[in-house]
A and B are shown apart, each in its own frame.
Chain A
Amino acid sequence: MAETVVAPPYRVIPIVPELKPGAMKEVRSFVANEKIQTALGFPGQLVEDWQEKALARMGELLGKYRSLRVYMDACVHCGACSDKCHYFIGTQDPKNMPVARQDLMRSVYRRYFTLAGKYFPWLVGARDLTREVLDEWYTYFNQCSECRRCSVFCPYGIDTAEVTMAAREILDSVGYGQKYSNEIIGKVHSIGNNLGLPAPALIDTLQGLEEDVKEDTGVDVRFPIDVKGAEVLLITPSADFFAEPHIDSLIGYAKVFHAAGISWTLSSMASEAGNFGMFIGNYDQLRKIALRIREAALELGVKRIVVGECGHAWRVAYSFWNTLTGIGAGATDPFALQLQKQLDARYRQPTHICELTWDLIERDALRFDKEANDQYVVTFHDSCNVARGSRMGDFAGGQFEIPRNIIRAVANHYVEMADHTTREKTFCCGGGGGLLTDDLIDLRVKGALPRMEALQEVVDVHGVNFMATICAICKAQFSKVLPYYKFDRRLVGGVHQLVSNAIILGETH
């Protein structure tokens, strides 16, 4: 399959592309098999009374989520969002326009949940929930990375990600789940992380890393795991343990902890920051996966919880952990207080690794040899979930400034990509939201187009040769798709990879 996939050409003038109806209708992510489905408590295959069940589930979700309910009603079809999705830009399939994607569900909502659609379906574009419609849901709701770029531009804040999540939840509930995401969730529960790396292998890897870093720097930088009484519990995406370039950021975190003299630990029980429960819109899974971290924190007795470079994980941690698990502050209920009493209230809980590093830099607790990064001209790719679904620091926009501040503190050459592609307007890497799978490589390559265009511009003008990012999915996705656009795959890397290169270890402590 991969041979036939080619990158779309850059747009000469980046205007809205013409429509190519049906362009992506054959690109369907693999369907989860019975084993994968039942492991999560979903029906093994499409149930017989799927229509009834799907509509019942939809009704239930409309009652549980105000977002879905308001968003089903409020859209005026103004089209402001229609050219904002990277998948539409890259594929030109009109069903990848955010509003059209929502309409896949809205048409069904109108048919069964509104007066107008019950009596005048043709008038309001209402449709019966047929097998074709269900298949279309599966196809196109698995072509949305839940990046929320559309939501930034919608006059009512309509968030297609909320609709996609609801659709995936409905599909799962009738036995029509996606293989990639659901298999990964199964691994988190059975093994402890998304990559299925068992504890002994993890411990081995960490030992190997200690040796590597010692060889490299001559310093004994530790990579502790399951250490009771450590101050910090680091929750990081499992890709950090062995994928390239992720691992270089893990080394960076370890060096920061070492240089600052902070005792820290990983957890073999919670060796994964990622939470694909969000991607499939399933509250129970979202909560269950997050609770592992609560358990690990209680068991290890840590004072702080720090999250590594992972975009959606940071959204879940920042925005949802307090709600789901009590990791945060301000609780009054016993469930959450149990943990909040243990955590050190002087620190933001949870803390992003960039917040931690930047705090240390501001307090002059770290020293850098910036020239160590002089071979790089760096740019920064804002990851969607960090940019649009979270914050850092205690000021609005901290999630943009803090990583950039760190880069400027550790490297001499930094440039920005075009304004309409950064900060809250950033374009998804093309592989987020549960789409980072080989069966969607065509979509992933095309979806990367807007980012690649912006990158090409700074490569041409400023000679950029390092695109830093703080997301495991972005790193994996870019490593894979950069070559399709004739870039070196090593062009992408982590912010803490740059920190790692420049940090001065040793005599300060």
Chain B
Amino acid sequence: MTTASMVFALLFYLAALVFAGGLLVRIAGYARTPAPLRIPTTPAPTTIRGVVFRMAREVMLFESLFKANLWIWALGILFHFGLALVVLRHLRYFTEPVWFWVAAVQPFGIYGGMAMVLGLAGLWARRLLVERIRYISTPSDHLMLVLLLGIGLSGLAMQYVAHPDVIAVKRFFLGWLHFSIQPLPDSLLLYLHLSLVLVLMIVFPFSKLLHAPGVFFSPTRNQVDDSREVRHVSAWAARMDVERPHG
């Protein structure tokens, strides 16, 4: 077993902890913070079912973004759908036997990788070329795209340029799942790819990637428009009613 296998295994444990722990803390924070006033934005559903549909359209079709800007929408869809396919495809490294639907998406995974890279490139081009988006961009916005592009390109390179021993990679991750460290194939491209993924996992809970859990907690999107029918009072606001019951 190489030092590299050891280092990567340990780093992945660390990254997984930071990723999961960080996200949990964030999500708990969102969940615990009250939303004292009803502020859904139109078109606001009047039932919980409606909210579920709205949220589904929002996270799967990017409905609001579609209304806002077709370019960003198309590039965003390309990137996110590509990414989703890629993530599904990568499940084969963690399952044995490979779940049948994971096997089923394998052939599309590679197109997912391409879509992802194309989408990212387009989004970056916008960030660089469109004056007002350049204006609002911070260095981290650019770096985030570089990071994701790096992950996508190094992944594609392993498919088309230098093919590492994927069976060994799978053995490594299956072992990792069971706290047994298996040798990782000796491939610089693979090391690069994995390192970038590690960085992504670690920055996730501290960055704008929080938009992923955040959208579910967005009061303008997740509230039912029923304020006349139901009295909603948050705990800190309810105390005021008790203090001055007659106004």
A interface, CB within 8 angstroms of B: 16, 18-19, 62-67, 69-71, 73-84, 94, 97, 99-100, 103, 114-116, 122-125, 148, 151-159, 162, 283, 287, 291, 294-295, 298, 318-320, 322-326, 328-336, 348-350, 387-389, 391, 394-397, 399, 423-425
Contacts and interface: CB of A to CB of B under 8 A. Distances in A.
A319 B231 contact: no
B56 to A, nearest CB: 14
A389 B68 contact: no
Interface of B: 26, 29-30, 33-39, 41-46, 50, 58, 62, 64-65, 67-69, 72, 76, 126, 130-133, 135-141, 143, 203, 206-208, 210-211, 214-215, 217-221, 225, 227-233, 236-238, 240-242, 245, 247
A393 B99 CA distance: 50
Contacts of B229: 328-330
A64 B236 contact: yes
Given A73-B26, A287-B240, A116 B39 contact: no
A318 B140 contact: no
A156 B215 contact: yes
30 contacts: A19-B132, A62-B33, A66-B30, A66-B217, A69-B30, A77-B133, A77-B136, A77-B138, A78-B72, A79-B132, A79-B136, A84-B68, A103-B136, A115-B206, A123-B140, A124-B138, A124-B207, A155-B58, A156-B221, A158-B218, A162-B39, A320-B227, A322-B227, A329-B231, A333-B233, A333-B238, A336-B241, A391-B225, A396-B43, A423-B42
Contacts of A94: 132, 135-136
Contacts of B35: 65-67
A156 B231 contact: no
Given A73-B214, A81-B68, A322 B44 contact: no
A29 B241 CA distance: 35
A67 B143 CA distance: 27
B231 A69 contact: no
Contacts of A154: 64, 68
B24 to A, nearest CB: 15
B231 A323 contact: yes
Contact of B34 (A64, A152, A330): A64
Contacts of A159: 39, 41, 220
A153 B231 contact: no
Given A82-B132, A388-B41, A156 B208 contact: no
* Chain A binding surface, main DSSP class: helix
Contact of B132 (A83, A152, A425): A83
B210 A73 contact: yes
B136 A100 contact: yes
A333 B222 CA distance: 25
A116 B140 contact: yes
A330 B231 contact: yes
A191 B135 CA distance: 46
Contacts of A388: 41-42
B39 A319 contact: yes
A472 B87 CA distance: 53
Nearest to B133: A79
6 tightest A-B CB contacts, nearest first: A74-B214, A153-B68, A125-B138, A157-B220, A80-B68, A157-B221
Given A77-B141, A123-B139, A125-B140, A18 B131 contact: yes
A157 B215 contact: yes
A79 B218 contact: no
Contact of B136 (A82, A324, A350): A82
Contacts of B46: 391, 394-396
A155 B133 CA distance: 16
Contact of A350 (B65, B126, B133, B228): B228
A67 B220 CA distance: 8
A419 B68 CA distance: 13
Contact of B37 (A291, A319, A348): A319
A318 B135 contact: no
Contacts of A116: 140, 203, 206-207
B141 to A, nearest CB: 5
B78 to A, nearest CB: 14
A479 to B, nearest CB: 26
Contacts of B208: 73-77
A78 B76 contact: yes
> Could you say which of B43, B132, B237 has the most chain A C-beta atoms within 10 Å of its C-beta?
B132
A76 B142 CA distance: 11
Nearest to B207: A116
A219 to B, nearest CB: 33
Nearest to B54: A157
A157 B57 CA distance: 13
A402 to B, nearest CB: 14
Given A97-B136, A335-B242, A283 B237 contact: yes
Nearest to A339: B247
A316 to B, nearest CB: 9
B220 A318 contact: no
A66 B219 contact: yes
A362 to B, nearest CB: 19
A318 B228 CA distance: 6
A324 B233 CA distance: 8
B33 A69 contact: yes
B242 A80 contact: no
A476 B238 CA distance: 36
Given A80-B68, A80-B69, A123-B143, A66 B34 contact: yes
Contact of B247 (A115, A123, A295, A397): A295
Nearest to B222: A157
Contacts of B227: 318-320, 322-323, 328
B218 A156 contact: yes
A391 B45 CA distance: 11
Given A66-B35, A320-B38, A333-B238, 6 more contacts: A73-B208, A79-B132, A80-B65, A158-B220, A319-B38, A328-B228
> Could you say which of B72, B76, B211 has the most chain A C-beta atoms within 10 Å of its C-beta?
B211
A140 B206 CA distance: 27
B220 A283 contact: no
A283 B36 contact: yes
A159 to B, nearest CB: 5
Given A157-B221, A333-B238, A396-B43, A323 B136 contact: no
Contact of B64 (A157, A162, A333): A157
Given A156-B221, A323-B38, A294 B247 contact: yes
> Could you say which of A155, A325, A326 has the most chain B C-beta atoms within 10 Å of its C-beta?
A155
Contacts of B39: 67, 159, 162, 319, 389
B41 A77 contact: no
A76 B228 contact: no
